[in-house]
Structure formats: C-alpha cells, structure tokens
Amino acid sequence: MTLPVERSRSRRPVTWLTLIGVLLLPAVIGGILVGALYKPTDRLENITAAIVNDDKAVELDGQLVPLGRQLTGGLVKGADDQPSNIDWVISNDEDAAAGLKNGTYTAVVTIPENFTAASLSTRPGETPEKATIGVQTAPNARVVDGAITGALASTASNVYGSTLSSQYLKNVFLGFTTLSDQLGTAASGAHQLADGASQASHGAEGLRDGLGQLSSGATGLADGASKLAAGAGPLTDGATQLSTGAGALANGTRSAAAGVTQLADGNAELARQITALAAQIPPGFAEDAQQLSAAAPQINTALTDAAAALQTAADTCTGTPEQCAALRTASDNANAALPKAKATVAQIGGLTAEASKLPAGFSALAQANQKLADGGYDAAKGIGAIASGMDGIAGGATTLADGARQFGTGASALASGAGQVASGASGAETGAGQLADGITQVATGTASLADGLDTAVAKLPTYTDAQATNLADVVADPVSASGSSDSLFGIAAVPLLAMAVLWFGALASFVVFQAVSARALTSRRSSGLVALRGFAPAAVVGAVQGMLVAGVVQVASDYDWGDWALFAMICVVAGVAFAAVNQALVALFGGAGRWIAAIVGALALATSIVSTVPPVLAAFASLLPTAPAYNAMLGALSSVGGVGAGAAGLVVWAVLALVVTTLVVVRRRTVSTRAASAVATAG
C-alpha cells in the first residue's frame, strides 16, 4: 500500500512500511541508548575486576594488623547504599596481568605490600608515608569502565583513609585529656611541695631564734669559766704556801676548806646555770633538727622530680605555641634554680645535724660542773681532815696545789670550749637565717610553678571518648558536598539523547521524503503551498517521533507526569521544527544538506557532553537549532527553566526554515527564456 508522498531521488511512492520505519527509527535508537546508559551503576555486576592484595600485615602491640585484607573485604562487600557492586575477583599479580591482557578482567586494583605500614606510619617514631593503591584498566575496556572502577577504588581508599585519620586524631584529642590530668597531678604535687617548703621555712626561723639563744648562753658560760680559771691561780699559790709552811697550814686549812666550799658552790651554781640554759632550748629541738636534716635529701629529690616533670611536659607539649612556650620558660627557670636550691637544702641539712647535738653537749657540760662541785665539797672535807692531821699536811698541800693547777687548766679549757660553742652557735644562727631565706625562695618558686601548672591545665582542652570521636570524624573529613551525584547518566543526558535522536530522525525523514516536489515547476499551487506540501509529511512524522521518544523516556525514567507532559510537548515541537530545518537544508544544498545535518547533530552531541569543549565550538553550537530544543527539554525535566525561550526558538527556526524552503521553491519555478524556448522546442 502506497502513500501520496514523493520519495527522495526516486519515482517510487513511499509505502506504509517505509513510513513506519522512519517513525520508529528515533524511538528505537533512543530506547537503545537510554536502556544501555541509564543508571549504569545499577548494573555494576557486569564489570569483572581483579583485586591483587600484596600487602604485608604489621604487628602492632603484639597483634597483626592486615589493613590490605580489610580494604579488600570492603571493596568486595560494597556500600550499603549501592544497589550493586563490581564482580570482584581476588587474584594475584600473574593472573591479573593475564586477565587484563585477554580481556577476562576489565580492571585490576593492586594493594602494594607497604599499604599497612604506610597507613600506620603516623605513629610516634615513624616517618609519615601516604598509602596508595594502583588501578589498571584493560586496553579493550569500555569507555566508562575504567572511570567506574577507579571511582569505586578511590572512594573506598578515601573513606578508609578518613577512618584511619579519624582514629589518629581521636588519640591526639584524648592525649590532651591525659596531659591535662597529668599536669593537674603535677600541679597538686607542686602545691603540696610549696606548703611543705613554707612550713620548713617557719621551722628554720624557729631554729635561728633558738641558736641565737644558745649563742648568748654559751657566751655567758665562757665568761664564767674565764673567771673560774682566774680564781684557780690564787688557789694554786695558797696551796704552795701551805706546802712550804706547816705551821701556818693548821690555821690556814680551815680558811682553805671554806674557800674550797665556796668554789664547790660556784661549780654547783655553774652547773645549775648550764642546766637552765639547756632548758631554754625548745622542746623537741633535737628531734626537729634531726628530722629537718633527714628531710633534706627528700626535699632535693622532690625538687628534682618536679623540675623533670615540668621538662617532660614542655618536651611533649601538643598545645598552642603560646602554651608550649610558657611551659618551656617555666621549665628553664626551674632547672636554672635547681642546683642552688639543692645546695642550700644540703647545707641546711648539715647545720641541723650538728645543731641536734647541742642538747646532749649542754647536759654533759652540766654533769661535769656538778662533778666538779662534788669534788670541791670532797676537797673541803679533805682540808678539814688536814687540819686534824698535821702529818699529811705537806703531802696534802702539794696535792692540793697540783689539783688547783689542773682545775685552772680545766677552767681555761671550759672557757675556750664555751667560746667555741658561742661562736658555732652564732654561725649556726646565721646559717639558719640563710636556710629560712632559701626555703622561703623554694616555697615561692614552687608556688609559682604550681600556679603555672594550674594555668596550663585550665588552657588544655579535655574531651570525652564521644566528643573526641565526633571531633576526629569532623577534622578527618571537614568538608562534604551535598546535592552532588556520582551517577554517570545525569539529568542532562535524557534531554541530550532525545534531542539527538529527534534530529537524526528528521534527517532520516528527508533521506526518504522529497524536500521539494519534483512537480513544483508545473504545479498551479503557490510556492508556499508547494513548500508546505513537502513539509507536512515530515512534520507529522516528526510530531509522532517526538511522542514516541517521550514515551520511551518515560518508560525508562519514570518522571513526574506533569514534567513529562511538558517534556513530551517540547519533543513534539522539536520534531516538527527539526523536520522544517532538515527540509530547508536538503532543499537548499541537495545531498550536501544531509551531510550538513549530520555534522550539526554530531556538533550538538559533542558540545553537550562535557564543559571542556573549545569555546569556539561551544559558541557555534549555541547558534544551532538543536540548542533551543535541548534547553527547553532540560528545563522541562529540571529546575533550570528556559522552556518558553527554547520553545520560542524552535518556532523561530521552523518559520525561518519554511521561508528558506519557499524561496528555494520560488527559485526552482523561475526559468530563463532560453530554458523555456528549449522546453517549447522539445515539445
């Protein structure tokens, strides 16, 4: 069955079968393209890729850590939000290379042997190194297969890297909390040390006062002993005279006995003064002095430990530069003052050790004077006995003279010793004052150290496990994009394919149909009607093609019916307008017009796939009749707008094309006189 439509370059009529073929051509091509390209990530299982895990596990805290194996498992398992995954095959280097070569594998993902070591290289003492994975694509792979495989491998490695970074940062943030706790402990210890040093300073001041009193008492003792030594000289002279004169001895012995008794009373009084002086020493003075002497090494140890703890805090500081600088300054000051403080504490310990012996010395001195007094009383009794026995007067007087000389020597030694005690006590008093000043400085410096540590603790952030985890996740991946799509078949693809198949469908129409009727010269119709007669069949076919293409798109994509209705209307308008433009190209240029139409279609596709096309081509493509069709279709299926402008552009192109076709008809219906004569002659 034929139709009253002229066939291009043939006198045979157009059949219904030919018309159906022209109608279905864009729908079939569009269906094939949309069905093959729409949502390719839903059919990833059609891609076979190999995973080569050459990674070597690393021992961490006594446990092997195989991060390469974990990444392999993550790739094979896929993402929870992805409906399909690549058909992964766990392979080795030889099999993967052979598979790439013979086409068994589309791509190969290789995890190198240092993957785990590089991933864990952020540990202390390690040299940081970035972990990488390799992706190879088969030479005969499809155009987008390598991009899909690389994107999945890259996404998996990025997510895995973010996880490692998050864990590392979590440990750093928790380390701030640990450092804060340790510095808080150090600050508490420094406060306790400052309190102890303050108490020691008060004790040293009491020691200084007691030593001052001891010095005064020893000075008085030295004066008394000097007087006693001076009094021993006359006693010696008297004893000598007693030994030379027995006659005078009888009477003199009684006076001597009285003098000796007085001397014994003086010695007893001296013993009482020494005892009273010893009683003036504060209770527990020896124990306090001994404890202070014993505490000196402990104080030096505490000072050393505090300086070391401050040095460690400064060396491991991970806070702000100002905090770390403050810690280092405090540490340097503490280390600079440490030797002098330790020497002062050691000197104090030595002085207090000697001072602890004073109470025992005073007691021994009092006992010696008491014994001297007792000896004096015995001497008085002896002198009385001399008075009653003249036979032993000479020997007793000689003995008395010797004893008096010894007594003078002892009294002189006592005076010298008491002077030395007074001098030592005075020096000890000065040392005790220096000890008090040094301990006061230690207390002040330790208090400043404690305050500085409190300030550092206040400025260091602390985190709970949940806070550290959340902050680490944010810092490891601080920026995320919303609204982006990883689909390789975006929203612009459907309008692009629809525009392309309708354009080539219109081109196919004028491969079959005659653009300008062969009977235009002899037809009685106007040129406009002749042009419309060639346009009408193609316009009907273009409108039907537009509806069929829109139907195929709806079946594959399932758009909202309101959006689809607008899209379908644009497809119908585009089909009609493209028919008019292709008619004008063929009418004006003949067979070359079809070549021009094919170039226009190719240029429209090439400039709409990616934005990196040369600006000249993009600018030229925007002037083609395909541009308003694409813009209107895209506006119908998205929120970019421009539907009205695109539709108006199509109408303008259709009108201009019909005008051009009409002018071509007019030109063909105009013949020269010679041509008319030739026709008449031939007739």
SS (H, E, C) 349-411: HHHHHHHCCHHHHHHHHHHHHHHHHHHHHHHHHHHHHHHHCHHHHHHHHHHHHHHHHHHHHHH
What is the rounded CA–CA span in Å between residue 222 and residue 91?
A: 104
Of 19, 32, 30, which Cα lies nearest the Cα of 502? 30
- Write down all domains in the chain, each with its CATH number in brackets: 44-161+477-482 (3.40.1710.10), 491-679 (no CATH)
Model-wide pTM > 0.85: no
- Distance between terminal CA atoms of the chain? 34
- The DSSP element (H or E) to which 58 belongs, if any, is strand 58-60
The secondary structure of 448-470 as a DSSP string is HHHHHHHHHHHHS----HHHHHH
Q: Is the pLDDT of residue 48 over 70?
A: yes
Q: At what angle do helices 145-244 and 393-459 cross, to 10 degrees?
A: 160
**Cβ-proximal residues to 590 (8 Å cutoff; 6+ apart), any chain:** none
CA Rg, the chain, in Å?
59
The secondary structure of 85-151 as a DSSP string is --EEEEE-HHHHHHHHHHTS-SEEEEE-TTHHHHHTTTSTTSPP-----EEEE-TT--TTHHHHHHH
Q: Is the pLDDT of residue 489 over 90?
A: no
- Say what the pLDDT of residue 682 is: 47
- Say what the pLDDT of residue 340 is: 85
Q: Quick one: CA torsion of 213, 215, 220, 222, rounded to 10 degrees? A: 160
- Asked if residues 228 and 270 have their Cβ atoms less than 8 Å apart, the reply is yes
Q: What would the pLDDT profile of 294-307 be if each residue is shown by its tens digit?
A: 877 888 898 798 88
- Asked if residues 624 and 577 have their Cβ atoms less than 8 Å apart, the reply is no
Q: Is the pLDDT of residue 556 over 80?
A: no
Of the candidate ranges 109-113, 372-376, 513-517, the one whose mean pLDDT is the lowest? 513-517
- Say what the pLDDT of residue 472 is: 47
What is the rounded CA–CA span in Å between residue 144 and residue 124?
A: 42
- Say what the pLDDT of residue 46 is: 67
What is the rounded CA–CA span in Å between residue 302 and residue 310?
A: 12
| 18 three-class SS | helix
* Segment of 147-151, 399-403, 641-645 carrying the highest mean pLDDT: 641-645
Q: Is the pLDDT of residue 190 over 60?
A: yes
Work out the mean pLDDT of the chain and round it to a whole number.
74
Of the candidate ranges 67-76, 418-427, 520-529, 669-678, the one whose mean pLDDT is the lowest? 669-678
Q: Is the pLDDT of residue 50 over 80?
A: yes
Average pLDDT over residues 577-598: 88
On the CB side of 244, CA atoms within 13 Å amount to: 6
Work out the number of other CB atoms within 10 angstroms of the CB of residue 508: 23
At 2, the pLDDT band (50, 70, 90 cuts) reads: very low
Amino acid at 407: F
Average pLDDT over residues 275-291: 75
β 13-15/2-6 pair status: antiparallel
What is the rounded CA–CA span in Å between residue 54 and residue 67?
A: 11
Q: Is the pLDDT of residue 500 over 80?
A: yes
- Say what the pLDDT of residue 315 is: 86
The 8 Å CB, 24+ separation contacts for 434-438 are: 434/344, 434/347, 435/204, 435/207, 435/208, 435/344, 435/347, 435/348, 435/351, 435/352, 436/201, 436/204, 436/205, 436/207, 436/208, 438/341, 438/344, 438/345, 438/348
What is the rounded CA–CA span in Å between residue 366 and residue 273?
A: 8
Of 331, 338, 302, 296, which Cα lies nearest the Cα of 317? 331
Q: What would the pLDDT profile of 318-366 be if each residue is shown by its tens digit?
A: 878 887 888 789 888 888 888 987 888 788 777 777 766 767 776 777 7
Q: Is the pLDDT of residue 480 over 50?
A: no
Average pLDDT over residues 38-65: 74
At 647, the pLDDT band (50, 70, 90 cuts) reads: very high
Average pLDDT over residues 260-278: 79
Of the candidate ranges 280-294, 295-309, 508-522, the one whose mean pLDDT is the lowest? 508-522
